[in-house]
């Protein structure tokens, strides 16, 4: 057996070994998505493992009956509570065209009605964080499709909105989570190359400059999965966990001075016993309300038979994790 042949055999077995490890960490085949739905519940402790409510689900199928079978999925829910009114803004992906921002409304936090689409653009828009700043209401969505991070202001809350400002220009920033506080203002998101990007400003309408002082990661658990929230003075932010395909679960991280530290892995995870959320979950919005916390989240239903071939994303995540381990 000559030397070249031995090297060839060794290379093949090495490659197979890497592929086996890569597949164990991020599978090459994952269940195909049947579509995202939205859930909600209350808890006294948002810093624990969470089990989705079996009762409080806003199903994509039920919305289809209202929209004449025009709904593909509903996702990325954010709550705004005002004067005993519960407003859930969410990504409404119809079967034709780019996603819009839809709205559910409730007077009791249990029974919701679909109001309609409140932001309808010619470009994809999602992740509608809604918040109040200096007595005005704003939505910071994902608008990566137009290469800008744009901010909407309510003209007639909750149904009419217009673009108020471009906070960050010339960047495809996905799921930009915003923190506005007396001492710290941040926007956190990811770009198309699986890089976490963090921006800092002295105010909402100040200059948002990239902050390179943060110890950031590349790959998995870097894409925001909801909103910043505070418990006993400590800020937390959920991130997407994609170990079993896109949107497997949500891991919670605590914000340190120059990094995000993992606090709970897969705080919210796919539910095998709940068909609406049995493929995965990828969003958690935490809201303090009347001494408790009102949570809204989304989950994906697995297709019974079909699978997605996720080889490329698996390789990317594995190599990104290796890069983070070696160089960051």
DSSP 234: E
Domains of the chain, start order: 37-327 (2.115.10.20)
User: Token digits for 273?
Assistant: 């016993």
**Opening angle at CA 211, ends 209 and 212, nearest 5:** 135
Q: Which residues of 111-127 are buried (b: 16+ CB within 10 A; e: fewer)?
A: ebebeeebbbbeebbbb
User: Token digits for 127?
Assistant: 């992740």
- Position 6 scores a pLDDT of 66
User: Token digits for 249?
Assistant: 């679960």
User: Token digits for 256?
Assistant: 């340190």
Are 242 and 220 in contact, with CB atoms under 8 Å apart?
yes
- Pick out the chain residues at pLDDT < 70: 1, 5-8, 328
- Position 214 scores a pLDDT of 92
CA-CA distance, 42 to 55, in Å (whole number)?
A: 12
Residues with Cβ within 8 Å of residue 105, at least 6 apart in sequence: 85, 86, 87, 88, 112, 113, 115, 158
H/E stretch holding 257 reads: none
Q: Give strand pairing partners of 285.
A: 296
pTM given for the model = 0.94
CA-CA distance, 44 to 291, in Å (whole number)?
A: 8
- Position 193 scores a pLDDT of 85
Closest Cα to residue 47, out of 242, 297, 277, 229?
A: 229
Burial class (CB in 10 A: 0-12, 13-18, 19+), 2: exposed
**What is the DSSP code string of 174-201?**
EEEEEEE-SS-EEEEEE-TTSBEEEEE-
Instruction: Dump pLDDT digits (tens) for 306-326.
Output: 888 888 888 888 888 887 777
- Position 9 scores a pLDDT of 76
The tally of CA atoms less than 13 A away on the side-chain side of residue 137 is 17
- Position 3 scores a pLDDT of 72
DSSP 124: -
Are 300 and 34 in contact, with CB atoms under 8 Å apart?
yes
User: Token digits for 11?
Assistant: 């290379």
- Position 316 scores a pLDDT of 84
Closest Cα to residue 260, out of 209, 168, 198, 315?
A: 198
- Position 328 scores a pLDDT of 66
């Amino acid at each position: 057996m000559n030397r070249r042949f031995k090297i060839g055999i060794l290379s093949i077995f090495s490659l197979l070994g890497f592929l086996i490890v890569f597949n164990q960490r991020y599978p090459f085949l994952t269940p195909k998505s049947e579509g995202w739905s939205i859930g909600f519940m209350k808890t006294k402790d948002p810093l624990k493992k969470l089990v989705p409510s079996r009762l409080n689900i806003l199903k994509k199928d039920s919305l289809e009956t209202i929209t004449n079978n025009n709904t593909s999925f509903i996702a990325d829910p954010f709550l705004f509570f005002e004067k005993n009114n519960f407003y859930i803004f969410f990504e409404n992906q119809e079967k034709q065209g780019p996603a819009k921002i839809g709205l559910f409304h409730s007077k009791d936090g249990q029974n919701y009605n679909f109001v309609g689409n409140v932001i309808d653009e010619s470009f994809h828009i999602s992740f509608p964080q809604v918040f109040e700043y200096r007595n005005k209401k704003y939505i910071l969505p994902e608008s990566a499709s137009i290469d800008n991070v744009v901010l909407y202001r309510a003209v007639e809350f909750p149904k009419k909105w217009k673009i108020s400002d471009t906070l960050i220009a010339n960047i495809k920033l996905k799921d930009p989570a915003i923190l506005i506080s007396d001492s710290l203002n941040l926007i956190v998101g990811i770009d198309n190359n699986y890089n976490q990007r963090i921006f800092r400003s002295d105010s909402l309408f100040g200059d948002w400059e990239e902050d390179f002082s943060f110890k950031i990661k590349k790959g998995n658990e870097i894409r925001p999965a909801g909103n910043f929230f505070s418990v006993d003075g400590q800020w937390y932010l959920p991130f997407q966990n994609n170990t079993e395909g896109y949107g497997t679960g949500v891991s919670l991280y605590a914000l340190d001075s120059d990094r995000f530290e993992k606090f709970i892995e897969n705080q919210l995870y796919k539910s095998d016993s709940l068909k609406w959320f049995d493929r995965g979950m990828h969003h958690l919005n935490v809201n303090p309300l009347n001494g408790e916390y009102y949570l809204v989240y989304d989950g994906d239903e697995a297709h019974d038979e079909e699978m997605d071939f996720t080889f490329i994303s698996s390789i990317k995540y594995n190599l990104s994790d290796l890069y983070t381990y070696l160089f960051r």
